[in-house]
Chain A
Amino acid sequence: MGEEEKDKDKDKVKAKKDKAPPKDAILIEQLPNLATPNDAATSTTITKPPSLRIVPPLNFCPVERRLYRSGQPSAINHSFLEQLNLKSIIWLAIEDPQDNFLRFIDENNINFFYNLGYDSIDSNSWDGLSESSIKQALEVIADEKNHPLLVCCGMGRHRTGTVIGCLRKLQGWNLASVSEEYRRFTGVRGGRILVELLIEAFDVGTIQIDKEVAPDWLIR
């Protein structure tokens, strides 16, 4: 008898797992239950930001005029992103972006540059970006046709930091200032020396800037 009940329970758990919500969803069950007990125990996704305030994505910051950086936006950030009138997005992570982010890109007719970080089947998420990936990303940035532009990866720390760091170098910043900016976005665990070595070793001379299509803050 007891075993049968256990089996039933297992089935229930399985059914719940099958109905699993998207990764970024905030489950009602997980929130502290302040109001009356929730009858509809099924999960719902919160898509509206709290009390009319907008929520920028994690690690969001303007880099230059009409160029922004951030971590992966979730559903709660969409109303904020709409304000930016984005024309393109560069995705630097190896992992695929979440479905609702892809849907957002689709609905707003945004050019999506992806697979930049994906160099071969062997590449891992903790590997640094390759020189060719950085180059591709910088070439997209150097064309004003693609602006307003958002550069993002999973957390907006290391991969985004690498590309923005190389951009700063291209703009003629000294390395100490580049590193200061990079570390501002890396959180408590600090910056990775590997990323800084990558920025330092990156040969800016290989990037050709077409003055006719480049944004004016890039022209020296």
Chain B
Amino acid sequence: MDENDEIFDFEQAYDEEFTNESHLLSDELIINHNDNYSNQVINKVMKNSLIPTKDTEPQQEQQHQEQQQQQEEEIVIDEDDEDQYDKFIPTDSEKIKKYKKDQEYLITVSKKPPTLLTPPENFSPVCGLIYRSSFPRIENFEFLLKLKLKSIICLIPEEYPPENIEFLNKNNINFYQIGLSGNKEPFVKIKPNLVNEALKILTNPENHPILIHCNRGKHRTGCIVGCIRKLQKWSLSMIFDEYRKFAYPKERPLDQQFIEMFDDSEIQNLAFENNWLPLKW
């Protein structure tokens, strides 16, 4: 039975943590006791690095500056990681060229070989004829055709890539773009009025079948789908459960807060007018 193997020994873990902490404490104590010694060490460090004294040579100063710059750059890269995760990265241009060639070939041959369908990551129906996914790439186009989409809502502020626009035009799909910036601690926040706009489009049955996507299909899409669930009167716990399922392993508490706090009264009235509510699954 695998269950027995995975039982976590809390007591042991607690003990380990505790002893580790006590180690830390004792180290600090030692430093405090040997005040003279530690002062000396600190003085040495100060002289060597932080304060450029007369003794230090200009070369050393330059080195220090370079080091500092390097450190700063490293920090910037760290911050970018989270940004990069949500940012749209265009498909490799050679891949697109090959795709276009294949398309032309298919037209001339007319019968295409049976291939496996590739749904975009995080693809799922939401309710009725509303679908959600991550950013659709050329390899997902064949799959999307099966949905017979009438519209697509894109939630990223970046420009829509030309190959996707071509796909839209070819298949007469309406395109809406609402550039949301994701919820990021602590200052960037999703704007509720933009979410309202997106929901207006989504709850209009004339636009169905409709696909909603951002870059990863996790955070921005998750927020909008959460708001749809709120319109459907789902309990908040189950909304959060669904949000976490799709956002795993990058769940954001701020997104869940947004869903909870979002005022959907305006959209609710509109959805009733559009005959989208009460919902017919």
Question: Could you list which residues of chain B lie within 8 angstroms of chain A, going by C-beta atoms?
Answer: 6, 114-119, 121-129, 146, 232-238, 242, 245-246, 248, 279, 281
Known pairs A61-B124, A65-B125; A173 contacts B146 (CB<8 A): no
Report chain B residues within 8 Å CB of A217.
Answer: 146
Q: Is the CB of A84 within 8 A of B281?
A: yes
Is A148 located at the chain interface by the 8 A CB criterion?
A: yes
In the assembled complex, the Cα of A84 lies from the Cα of B279 at a distance in Å of 9
Name the B residues within 8 Å of A66 (CB-CB): 281
Q: Are A65 and B119 in contact (CB under 8 A)?
A: no
Give the interface size class of chain A: 20 to 34
Can you give 24 contacting A-B residue pairs, CB < 8 Å?
A: A50-B235, A52-B233, A53-B234, A53-B236, A55-B234, A56-B234, A56-B238, A60-B238, A62-B127, A62-B281, A63-B125, A65-B128, A66-B281, A68-B281, A171-B117, A172-B114, A172-B115, A173-B117, A174-B117, A177-B119, A180-B121, A181-B123, A185-B245, A189-B6
Q: Scoring A residues 182 to 199 as 1 if CB is less than 8 Å from chain B, else 0, what string do you get?
A: 001100010000000000
Cβ of A206 within 8 Å of any chain B Cβ, yes or no, is: no
Q: Are A83 and B279 within 8 A (Cβ)?
A: yes
Within 8 A of B (CB), among A40-63: 49-50, 52-56, 60-63
| Contact residues in B for A172 (Cβ distance below 8 Å) | 114-117
Shortest beta-carbon contacts, A-B, top 8: A62-B125, A174-B116, A53-B235, A172-B117, A55-B235, A177-B119, A84-B281, A53-B233
Query: Which residues of A have CB within 8 Å of B279?
Result: 83
User: Is A130 an interface residue, CB under 8 A from the partner?
Assistant: no
- Say how far B40's CB is from chain A's closest CB, in angstroms: 51
Minimum CB distance partner of B245 in chain A: A184
In the complex the two chains form, what is the Cα distance from A203 to B114 in whole Å? 16
A65 to B125 CA separation, bound complex (whole angstroms): 8
Residue ID in chain B nearest A50 by CB atoms: B235
A98 within 8 A of B: no
Q: Are B235 and A64 in contact (CB under 8 A)?
A: no
* B235, A49: Cβ atoms closer than 8 Å: yes
Contacts of A49 in B (CB 8 A): 235
Most chain A CB inside 10 Å of its own CB: which residue of B121, B127, B235, B245: B235
User: Is A85 interfacial (CB-CB < 8 Å)?
Assistant: yes
Cβ proximity bits A147-181 to B, threshold 8 Å, 1 near / 0 not: 01000000000000000000000011110010011
- Chain A residues with Cβ under 8 A from B125's Cβ? 61-65
B279 CB, nearest partner CB in chain A, Å: 7
Do A173 and B119 have beta carbons less than 8 Å apart?
yes
* In-complex Cβ contact of B129 among A53, A65, A68 (8 A): A65
In the complex, the chain B residue whose C-beta lies closest to that of A86 is B281
Residues of A within 8 A of B124 (CB): 61-62, 181
Least Cβ–Cβ distance between B128 and chain A, in angstroms: 8
Most buried by A among B118, B121, B233: B233
Q: In the bound complex, how far is the Cα of B234 from the Cα of A62, in angstroms?
A: 14
Give the complex CA separation of A166 and B115 in angstroms.
17
Contact A54 B235 (CB under 8 A): yes
CB–CB A184/B236 < 8 A: no
